[in-house]
Structure 1
């Protein structure tokens, strides 16, 4: 390239930058005309927008930062802000801005977008995050927006670290793309106080999230939280005020977890040692659930809120063991998946005190009657621990698996009714005095697929050994 060509190129670039800066001057004037700055003390009186308060430009007079925070500013944002192509930071948080959040798609240099605590009411553009591959932090919290769903274009913000969308009218389900493969730098996801529903997506288990805030949804998020056991980077998890159910999964891999808040859900079962044993914990809130078993014992350094009368722990003393009858029945409930119906009824340390389906003679449990309770899961061998049992009714449920041979050891058993379930396998040999009712189980006497495969493998191994001999 000759010197004259180089000079011509430089002149062309200068002219392009000059034209762009002139365009940006027009955009900034448009922004100024839409804002009421007079009462705020913000000085935008200079003819050069690069000299305005809280505005920063580069050497070519291109706007790189606009940071007008906590000024009480009223008005709207210019719809042309998306043309400030060198913008790196856009902040207007804690003001009184209304109207619409402009379409900022294509701002490839934008790193921080912070508009929290304003009065924006229009729906958010589905293209809001398009082309923003430098975007690192987004805060749209506490805006009375029209209902909207998290757009697919979030996936284009591949540098995103923090996504905070608290109390801003998000509906639908949590998208299934918050994995490290899609958003490798995302460490904080805050979606509290919205209208999300459904379950936690599987992709969360492949994320590097350190903060996950999903508390107080309307109507609510539900199902289990089993995906958490794979989220080993978590430091803070807040699920308060939803309808999550089932038991707390094995959290032993979350060695950095400090905050664990599951207050006001529908959790059942025993609080696992994998949680109580975490050395990193500082705050735990378990209040207003249906937890069972012993009141958990945490380290003295942990601030614990697990008010006993809002759960179903057997005793009020942390770590104190339950009555053996209670232990046996909770183990039985575990095989059914800790049903909420049982968890709500099986309270305290005396199963003879009005527990659903339990009949006693004195302090001895003699009858377990759980027929037609919509039970799933399997029949627990722990029935055999209740040695005073005379009658077990489990008919008209959806139980699977086989009848445990341990039940044949119950010395006083007279009736076992498992009719109208999905029981399979051979019926164990009970004493002749026991009436075993199995009608309505199409696969009774037949082995399930797993056991058939095991038998087939055993035959193959035996055949191979016989040939070698």
Structure 2
């Protein structure tokens, strides 16, 4: 009896499998008509009577458009107070050009719209969608504009499949819970027509991709990232984004000095507030005739307060940077000298946080003064990068210069030998090279821990290239001799090998004949 029930159960499972298989196969062979899809969509969205989707023919529904052959081409039901869900059958509307569902309360997961090759515009912003599939954009070769702002998606990364949308011009996904790094496919090599890229109020991390360089993007919003790390690093890449009109980078962790803006002749709005930018405001920014709005509040900018054109709306909250003076004006010459020194190190943040005001002897980090003159500069073990500035030689009262145990590269500037009061210079524990300048005999010079000190790296590199540029060509001769020797070796070796093979073959043939006739 037990065996009978088991057999019946297995048979039922088998029949259920066959039924689902045939149903699935039938749906693939005979996909639902556009009319069927719209009826399914009506059921899942449950629109209010005011939308008037009562006609049996969906082509007669309000905010729905069809082609001559009754294919659905547009669904434009934004701002209709709809509270349903989105049927997955919508993926069968292969002639759909515009899908506009913005400003409703549609919830649940977004279905995949994979391979809707006619779709050009997607507007799903300001709804309650809770997830977006990884293949959502796959095969959308006609897609031009996307707006999915303000949806409570579960965390997701921008998918590689977005590259399929080669015609994409506008991509807006503000407040859409995007995580990870900004991918490198928003550049000119893949999405060359992209004009607007809006990714504000997400949880992105890392830096701006180098692939942005040369793009035609006009408006970029990445402000207000919610991630712990936020967006970081330099923004130098934007100097090669010469089509930019609008840059919103506020409320992140960007750092370092500002780039050269001279090529950004279209820039109108620049918001950099609430970051960690250092250094001086470049004249290339203040001189931009296109600029209309700029916000630099709450950073670590140094030097003089910049003076913009009267046509520029400037947001500068007082005392939120490290300018030398509270109002526009020239800094003290010694302040300018120290800022030039900091420039060669990339304007370190630790200096920008401390070097405020216009009096370096008023407790500036790393400096010791006597009677208003700097006598000691001690930057030992500060993790500094860059090169040693020749501007140190302008601090004539300097007695001790301590730059040990950092990451300085380049050479020791020969100008330092002119310092009249210097009696100690310590550059040990760096990555310096080149000849040590001839300091006076009473100057203590410490250079240990620099493996390449005394080596002329530039000339040795030159000698390695093209037979020793600027030399007598001896390297070229040596390489030529070596090459000829190699060729001779292989030719002689090849002839010897052929002779050996022939000799062995002769001996083998001779022995065989002897055995046969002997």
Using the alignment, how far apart are the partners of 2:57 and 2:307 within structure 1? 65
Work out whether 1:117 is the aligned partner of 2:126: yes
Partner of 2:389: 380
Show the 5 A alignment for 1:22-421.
23-38=33-48, 41-122=50-131, 124-217=132-225, 218-219=227-228, 220-318=230-328, 320-421=329-430
Q: Residues 15-47 of structure 1: CA distance to partner in whole angstroms, max 9, x if unpaired?
A: xxxx999711111111111123227x2111111
Tell me, yes or no, if the aligned pair for 2:180 and 2:205 is still in contact at 8 Å: yes
Secondary structure in 2 matching 1:34: helix
With over 3 angstroms needed to count, the CA separation of the structure-2 counterparts of 1:284 and 1:27, relative to structure 1, is same
Task: Quote the offset at 1:459 in angstroms.
Answer: 2.4
Secondary structure in 1 matching 2:129: coil
Task: Quote the offset at 1:280 in angstroms.
Answer: 0.4
Task: Quote the offset at 1:289 in angstroms.
Answer: 0.9
Task: Quote the offset at 1:60 in angstroms.
Answer: 1.1
Work out whether 1:457 is the aligned partner of 2:466: no
Structure with max Cα Rg: 2
Task: Quote the offset at 1:460 in angstroms.
Answer: 3.8
The 4+ residue runs of structure 1 with deviation greater than 6 A are: 19-22, 461-464
Task: Quote the offset at 1:463 in angstroms.
Answer: 12
Partner of 1:11: none
Task: Quote the offset at 1:461 in angstroms.
Answer: 8.7
Tell me, yes or no, if the aligned pair for 2:295 and 2:316 is still in contact at 8 Å: yes
Aligned Cα RMSD in Å?
A: 1.9
With over 3 angstroms needed to count, the CA separation of the structure-2 counterparts of 1:463 and 1:178, relative to structure 1, is closer
Using the alignment, how far apart are the partners of 1:423 and 1:231 within structure 2? 35
Query: If each structure's helix is expressed as a fraction of its own residues, which one has the higher value?
Result: 2
Tell me, yes or no, if the aligned pair for 1:162 and 1:187 is still in contact at 8 Å: yes
Tell me, yes or no, if the aligned pair for 1:198 and 1:222 is still in contact at 8 Å: yes
Secondary structure in 2 matching 1:244: strand
Using the alignment, how far apart are the partners of 1:462 and 1:279 within structure 2? 56
Using the alignment, how far apart are the partners of 1:323 and 1:452 within structure 2? 42
Secondary structure in 1 matching 2:254: strand
Q: Which moved more, 1:300-309 or 1:265-274?
A: 300-309
Secondary structure in 1 matching 2:243: coil
In structure 2, list runs of 5 or more residues that go unmatched. Answer: 1-28, 477-518
Using the alignment, how far apart are the partners of 1:173 and 1:21 within structure 2? 38
With over 3 angstroms needed to count, the CA separation of the structure-2 counterparts of 1:303 and 1:30, relative to structure 1, is same
Q: Residues 412-461 of structure 1: CA distance to partner in whole angstroms, max 9, x if unpaired?
A: 1111111111121111111222211112222211122x243458533249
Using the alignment, how far apart are the partners of 1:150 and 1:403 within structure 2? 47
Tell me, yes or no, if the aligned pair for 1:21 and 1:62 is still in contact at 8 Å: no
In structure 1, list runs of 5 or more residues that go unmatched. Answer: 1-18, 465-469
Show the 5 A alignment for 1:427-442.
427-442=436-451
TM-score (norm 2): 0.83
Q: Residues 191-233 of structure 1: CA distance to partner in whole angstroms, max 9, x if unpaired?
A: 1111111111111103110111111112311111111111111
Using the alignment, how far apart are the partners of 1:26 and 1:462 within structure 2? 83
TM-score (norm 1): 0.91
Secondary structure in 2 matching 1:413: coil
Task: Quote the offset at 1:316 in angstroms.
Answer: 2.1
Secondary structure in 2 matching 1:189: strand
Task: Quote the offset at 1:326 in angstroms.
Answer: 0.8
Tell me, yes or no, if the aligned pair for 2:214 and 2:242 is still in contact at 8 Å: no
Matched length: 442
Using the alignment, how far apart are the partners of 2:177 and 2:31 within structure 1? 37
Partner of 2:496: none
Using the alignment, how far apart are the partners of 1:20 and 1:282 within structure 2? 58
Tell me, yes or no, if the aligned pair for 1:221 and 1:242 is still in contact at 8 Å: yes
Tell me, yes or no, if the aligned pair for 1:394 and 1:417 is still in contact at 8 Å: yes
Partner of 2:16: none
